Structure 1
Amino acid sequence: MNIRNFENEGRKFVANMGNFHVLEYMQDASVSPANATTEYFMSKMGVHRRQLAIELDGNNSAIIQAGAMQWMAGNVQATSGVKGVGDLFGKMVKGAVTKESAVKPEYVGNGWLVLEPTYKYIILVDVASWGPGITIEDGMFYACSGTVKNSVVSRKNLSSAALGGEGLFNLSLSGNGIAALESNVPYAELIEVELNNDTLKIDGNLAVCWSSNLDFTVERSTKTLLGSAVSGEGLVNVYRGTGKVLMSPVAPTGSLYAATNTLAAKAAAITSNTFGK
């Protein structure tokens, strides 16, 4: 099978790791006159569509987020990834506590698997390089190799996590293989903090992912409630031990599409002021 025009002047592969490839649309030509202005300003701000393309050779498989598949070419089949009633129940429990889809389909065979476009950044991670595993923030899982195992990890002090408005459980990936994560922030802007029997405290959910062997808790910023009130800080996320934390320098915007809509409104206002007179 030959696939032509995968890359061209408007789109190209910007990241590759193993059989995982990130295709980025440098210039989106599939626009109409109604949204051309919006697309123009989006491209100037670096808001591009990206797709994950996975190459299967018959000896590997890929697990993806439910509903993420756009097209597949070759002898590629989808399986549910469920190995029985007990496994289904366990996956449903994991999905309920991690805010991820309960069942993630697994694709096997020989050919190409291409996922739906996203305006978020796609970060490729070598899971084995994180030692015992990597724990990710809610909603960031996009795809992974079939050899990667997933489990649920909880925070040590669940009561403080609830008070801090943070999730109680997170998805942890371990083993050998590649994981693709959806991020609101590009990898170039992420800060990597390597801990050696040390402590990292973060105000808010700025951590994108972290080593699964780190002790993860939510605590007061100071030892006393009075101290926290005086300092103006409340509860913070605390990571202790030896491992790595990948941290965003800015707080998540909540929804990238909300930001896109705001940009669209600004573009429409500029168009009205320019051509409406």
Structure 2
Amino acid sequence: MYSAIGTRENIKIIDSAEYGGVKIDVMEYQHLLGSTNTSAAMDLYFMEKQNIRARQVAVYVSNDMVTVEPGAMSYFRGPLEMVSGVTAGNALGRLFSGAVTGEAVAQPEYRGSGMLVLEPSFNHFLLLQLDNEEIIVDKGMFYCAQGSVAVKPVMQRSISSALGGGEGLFQISLAGTGLVVLESPVPSCEIDVIELQNDTLKVDGNFAILRTASLQFTVERSAKSLIGSAVSGEGLVNVYRGTGSVWLAPTIKIYNTINFARSYGNPSTKSMNMNTSNSR
């Protein structure tokens, strides 16, 4: 097994897991020291104060395989073989699935033994280990998975769930046993994991980022009547029924509000957006 990257002083391993022939480290750069621009350096200073740090995933493979989000590879070392995952037998199905779902046709697979380092990101990473189970995550969250975990798009069970729930027509299913890395809009400390035991959870908004596949997901009125829903001000809610887990990230609403205010309330930003649109 190759030596860990996180032994460098400026890089800290914030999460790590190992299963079978795969070990995954989630690393965090404590400081970005290469800026030669004073304005950029000031931005970096305040970013660090707010925990906006560059993070990176390193995967150590020993006679195993990992599936990676297209475009996520930074570099790899050792006798690893990269294949597209598309064969003569599944090419047509992959093309159709990609056209319908908007997902990439090919998800690169790395087989053999070696070290694979993925692109750095300011997003947060969730490192999970599945144990003969299936979870459903939002599109765009999948980053990489051990080869024993099947990755595929799944359609919502009802049109109302797709149109009214804000989750889209397709999400991503991860099923099997092995390690999974997800890109998360919030850190793990801001995620509420709700365990349901033959129970019902109703959520106002689409900030449920992960759920157990066994749960039934629908979109319903918040009250029994249309008038009651209108008076309550809640309208439609996302409903999860059954036994399983739902991961909620309520602070997404706060970040969206801040981002919206900066985009439309800051005169300089608004002017920049207008100039950009006029130049097209």
Deviation at 1:37, TM superposition (A): 0.7
**1:87 matched to which residue of 2?**
90
Unaligned runs of 5+ residues in structure 2 are 270-280
Q: Matches of residues 83-232 of structure 1 in structure 2 within 5 Å?
A: 83-84=87-88, 86-128=89-131, 132-232=133-233
State the number of aligned residues.
259
**Contact residue 205 and residue 251 of structure 1 kept, 8 A:** no
Unaligned runs of 5+ residues in structure 1 are 267-277
In 2: Cα distance, 1:152 partner to 1:220 partner: 27
What letter corresponds to residue 95 of structure 2 in structure 1?
M
More deviation in 166-175 or 134-143? 166-175
**Contact residue 99 and residue 139 of structure 1 kept, 8 A:** no
Deviation at 1:111, TM superposition (A): 1.1
Change (3 A) 1:101 1:50: same
Larger RCO (CA within 8 A; separation ≥ 6) = 1
Q: Give the match's secondary structure for 1:177.
A: strand
Deviation at 1:259, TM superposition (A): 8.2
Deviations 1:36-92 (A, max 9, x none): 1111110111000011100011x21110010110011111221001122x4123333
Deviation at 1:23, TM superposition (A): 1.0
Q: CA RMSD in A?
A: 2.8
Q: Matches of residues 193-272 of structure 1 in structure 2 within 5 Å?
A: 193-251=194-252, 253=256
TM-score calculated relative to the size of structure 1: 0.85
TM-score calculated relative to the size of structure 2: 0.84
In 2: Cα distance, 1:4 partner to 1:192 partner: 31
**1:48 matched to which residue of 2?**
53
Runs of 4+ in 1 over 6 A off after TM superposition: none
Deviation at 1:95, TM superposition (A): 3.6
In 2: Cα distance, 1:218 partner to 1:115 partner: 36
Deviation at 1:222, TM superposition (A): 1.3
Q: Give the match's secondary structure for 1:127.
A: strand
In 1: Cα distance, 2:258 partner to 2:83 partner: 30
**Contact residue 22 and residue 52 of structure 1 kept, 8 A:** yes
More deviation in 219-228 or 152-161? 152-161
Q: Give the match's secondary structure for 2:206.
A: coil
Deviation at 1:97, TM superposition (A): 4.7
Deviation at 1:168, TM superposition (A): 1.6
